[in-house]
Every structure is written in C-alpha cells, then in structure tokens.
Structure 1
Amino acid sequence: MVEVPDDDILFQKQYYAISEVAKWFHVNQSLLRYWENEFSVLKPRKTRKGDRLFRPEDVKNLQLIYYLLRQRKFSIEGARQYLKDNKKKADTQMQLIQSLTKFRAFLLEWKANLGV
C-alpha cells in the first residue's frame, strides 16, 4: 500500500528526498532511479552532490507509474506507452482510486466506531 500524503500536505514542500519518497512507496531507492531512466515524466532535480529531490508533481507521476506497474501489472514498455497515449485518463483513474480508497477507509473507521 502506498502511503503518500494527501495533496494538501504533499504540496506544502517544494522537494522531497529520494529516501522519503522510497519509504512512501515501500520500494528501494534504486528502483526509483531505474524508473527515472525509463519514464520521461519523472524529472527529479539533482543537487550538486547528485542527490535526487522529487517535486510534488514527480511524486504524483510516481503514483501513476506505481499504479500501472504494480496494480495493473503493465510492463515497463506498456506503462510508458499507456502514459504517452492516455496520461489524462490515467491521472483521472488514479484520482478516482485514491478517493474511493479514502472513502472506504472512512467507512471502515465509522463502522468500527459504531461497534458493528
């Protein structure tokens, strides 16, 4: 399960370290570097030292890539092509899934509080 903060929290900072982003996705930093090479929509900023800093937009794109690769089981090439042809549709689907997941968590919490 991805643990990326909600947009209102995510967009409070301009940049996030690769270590922090990797924790949110429960993946190794090397995988994020690999995805950066494979997907042109990922363009983290690099410090003089070479450390990667991800903008909130990069994190949103990572969510989309993660969704396509890990949940929809696309190949790298398939995900790359899907993003090229259907980026807006994929963004919408991702937002819908996030909203439904939050709503489900709310309902489960409400159910637990009712003692049902």
Structure 2
Amino acid sequence: MVEDIKIILEEHKKDFDKKFEETNRHFDVVAEDIKSKIETVSEQVATNTEKLEEHDQRFDKIESDLGQVKDDVAIIKLDIETIKNDLKQKVSREEFVILEKRVGMLEAKSRK
C-alpha cells in the first residue's frame, strides 16, 4: 500500500511538473509578448517626445517672431500718429488754392 501511494504520488508529481513547465512556457510567451508591446510603446513615446521637442523649438521661434512683430507694429503706430499730426498742420489743396487766390488778389491791390 505504501508503494502504491508512492507510485501515485510520483505520477502526480510528474503530472504537476509537466503542468508547471507548461504554465512556465505559457508565462514566458506572455511575458515576451508584453515585453515586445512595451518596447513598441517605448519607441512611440520616444518619437512623440522628439516631436514635442521640435514643436517646443518651433513655438519658441514663433514667440520670438511675434515679439518682433509686436515691436514693429508699435513703431508703425507711432509713425502713423506722427504722420497724422504732420498732416493736421499742413494746408489742404483746396485751402492752398483759396490762399493762392487771396494772395494774388492782395498782390494785385498792392500794385495799384
């Protein structure tokens, strides 16, 4: 009877070892698949990180260019204000024609 139990235990141990090896192989396959997927995701993250860095550089340049444009617009506004003030102080063509006529009339009167 003890021998029978030993035989049964030995058979169960072999069966258990076989199942353990099969489970181990299955986990190895699953682990390899997960590792492969993690590597793929890691590569994609690295690519995305590079793209983000490129975008950061582009945004920095755009911000710099925008700052220059703002400065240029401020200068243009000042120039326009100066031109407006200068134009307000000048005589229009219509006023010039009227003044020419008046001067002509005054000159004619003063010659008489």
The normalised TM-score by structure 1 is: 0.27
Which has more strand, going by share of residues? Answer: 1
Q: Which of 1 and 2 has greater Rg?
A: 2
Which has more helix, going by share of residues? Answer: 2
Query: Does 1 or 2 have the higher relative contact order (CA < 8 Å, sep 6+)?
Result: 1
